[in-house]
Amino acid sequence: MMRAARMHGYKQPLQIDDVPVPEPGPDEVLIKVRATGMCRSDYQLLDGYFPLDIEFPYIPGHEVAGEVAQLGSAVPASAGLSEGDLVVVDPAWGDGTCRQCHEGNEQLCTGSGGWIGFGPPGGFAEYVTAPSRHLIRIDPEAGLAPQYLAPLVDAGLTPYRGMKKLRAAGRLGPGRTVLVSGIGGLGSYGVQYARLLGDGATVVAFARSDDKLTVAKENGADHTVNTRGKTPDQVRAELTELTGRGEIDAALDCSGAPQSLELNASLLAAEGSLVSVGLMGQRVEFPLFLFVSGERSFSGSFWGNYNDLTEVLALAAQGRIKHTVTPVKLDDINDKLDALARGEVIGRQVVVFD
Ligand code: FEH
Ligand code: ZN
C-alpha cells in the first residue's frame, strides 16, 4: 500500500488515503516519487477551474521527480532505464495521432492525450506510473536533488517555452526591453530565461509584492516595479525613469491576471510581442487599433514539449538556473495549497518523500 493525497470532489480538501501501489503496464514504469512540485493550477484543479472529467477519488500532482522502482514487461532496453535511476516525468502524454503530437508538441494534443495530474493519476503519492517514453533519466553526476528537479517540469518548463517564442519573434536582443510579470513559481524562472535567452535585452520585472521583486532581482532582473495600486500611466512613468523608455518590446506574463495582461499590452512598443503562460483569469481586453496599427502581437504558450524540458534540464545541470524551493510534507498539502491560492508563496513549494 502507499499514501496518497486524493481529491474526493471539487472545492474540498485533499484526503491523505492509504491505497494500493499502482501496477505498471507493459510499456510503463513504476516510479517511487521523491518530489512533486505544487503549482497554482493544482489549486485551480481542486477549485473546478478546468473543465476536465476527473473521476473521483483522484490523485493530482504534475511536477514529478522520482526513482525507477519497476520497469514494465515491454519497456525497451533502448529506453536506457534501470531500477534506481533518478528520473523526471515529461508531463504531457499525447495520443500520437494528431498534428500537434506529430510535431512533438504533445502538450497541445487535440486527440485523446492527457497530462499527468490532470488526467492520468499524478504525483502527490508515494508511487506513480508513467509511460517509459515520457521519462527523462537524470545523470547522478549532475548533482540535482529531486526537490529542485520537480519544479522544472512546469514552473521551469512553461516560462522557458514562452521566452523561446519571444526570442523566435525577434523581440529580444541589445537595445530591447523584455518584461516578466508575475514573479511566482513560473516568473522566478522567467526572469532567468530573460537573462539567458535575452541576448543583452534589459530585463524588467513586475510584481505586486516587494518580496517577489527581491527574488526577481536576485534572479537577474535589471529593474523591478511594484505595480500594486498603480495606474498604467504611473507604471509607464516609473518604467521611463528606470530604462529611459516608457515601453517594452517583449513581455512574458506569468500571472494570467487580466489586469496584468492589459497593463503589459498597454506598454508594448510597435511590433512588440506579449506572450502569456499564466492562467488566473478568464478573459482579457486589448485595444484593437493599438494591436493592428502597431503590428503588436499576443500569443498563448502552453507548458512545454519533451525537447523544451531536456533543454531546461541541461541548463539546470550546468548550474545556470537558480531555484527558490520550499520542501513540504504530504500531510501539510492542504495548508500549502491555501497559501498558494492566497499568492503567499515565494518560488515553489515541493512535496518531498523520503
Ligand atoms: C497545466 C494543465 C492545465 C492547465 C494549466 C497547467 C499549467 O500548470 C501548465 O503550466
Ligand atoms: Zn503547473
Percent with pLDDT over 90 in the chain: 97
Nearest ligand to the CA atom of 62: 2
Query: CA 33 to CA 88: how far, in whole Å?
Result: 10
Over residues 227-239, the mean pLDDT reads 97
Q: Note the pLDDT tens digit of each residue in 153-162.
A: 999 999 999 9
How many Å lie between the centroid of ligand 2 and the Cα of residue 240? 34
**Residue 51: pLDDT above 90?**
no
* Spatial separation of the C-alpha atoms in residues 2 and 242, rounded to whole Å: 53
Q: Which of 39, 252, 305, 340 to mutate to test the pocket of ligand 1 (most atoms within 8 A of CB)?
A: 39
* Average model confidence (pLDDT) across the chain: 97
103 CA → ligand 2 middle, Å: 22
Would you say residue 140 has pLDDT above 90?
yes
Q: Is the pTM of this model over 0.95?
A: yes
Higher pLDDT, 52 or 244: 244
pLDDT of residue 125: 98
Nearest-atom number in ligand 1 for the CA of 39 is 8
Q: How confident is the model at residue 53 (pLDDT cuts 50, 70, 90)?
A: confident
Of 116, 117, 83, the C-alpha closest to 6 is: 117
Mutate to test the pocket of ligand 1, among 38, 53, 303, 348 (most ligand atoms within 8 A of CB): 303
pLDDT of residue 257: 95
Q: How far is the CA of 184 from the centre of ligand 2 (A)?
A: 12
**Overall size of the chain counted in residues:** 354
List the Cα angle 312/315/318 in 5-degree steps. 150
In sequence order, what E strands does the chain have? Answer: 2-6, 15-19, 28-38, 63-71, 86-89, 92-93, 114-115, 127-131, 135-137, 177-181, 202-207, 223-226, 248-253, 268-276, 297-300, 325-328, 348-352
Q: 119-140 burial, b for 16+ CB within 10 Å, e for fewer?
A: bbbbbbbbbbbbbbbbbbebee
Atom of ligand 1 nearest to the CA of 118: 2
Nearest to 130 by CA among 142, 141, 120: 120
- Report domain extents, the chain: 2-155+304-352, 158-300
**CB of 171 closer than 8 Å to CB of 272:** yes
Question: What's the 39 CA to ligand 2 centre distance in angstroms?
Answer: 5
Pocket around ligand 1: residues whose beta carbon is below 6 Å from it?
A: 39, 41, 50, 115, 118, 154, 158, 279, 303
Backbone φ and ψ of 202, nearest 5°: -75, 130
User: Considering the domain 158-300, what is its CATH architecture?
Assistant: 3-Layer(aba) Sandwich (3.40)
Distance 303 CA to ligand 1 centre (A): 6
Q: What is the mean pLDDT of residues 226-241?
A: 98
* Mean pLDDT along residues 321-326: 94
pLDDT tens string 171-204: 999 999 999 999 999 999 999 999 999 999 999 9
Q: Compute the distance between CA of residue 164 and CA of residue 171 in angstroms, rounded to an integer.
A: 10
Number of the ligand closest to the Cα of 92: 1
CATH code at 2-155+304-352: 3.90.180.10
Position 121 scores a pLDDT of: 98
Q: Which ligand is nearest to the CA of 158?
A: 1
Residue 120 DSSP code = S
Using an 8 Å Cβ cutoff, are 304 and 165 in contact?
Answer: no
**Rounded (5°) CA angle 59-63-68:** 85
**From ligand 2's centre to the CA of 225, what distance in Å?**
25
Mean pLDDT of the 161-167 span: 98
Protein residue closest via CA to atom 4 of ligand 1:
41
CA distance 288 to 272: 14
The answer to whether 2-155+304-352 and 158-300 have equal CATH topology is no
- Across the range 303-325, mean pLDDT stands at 97
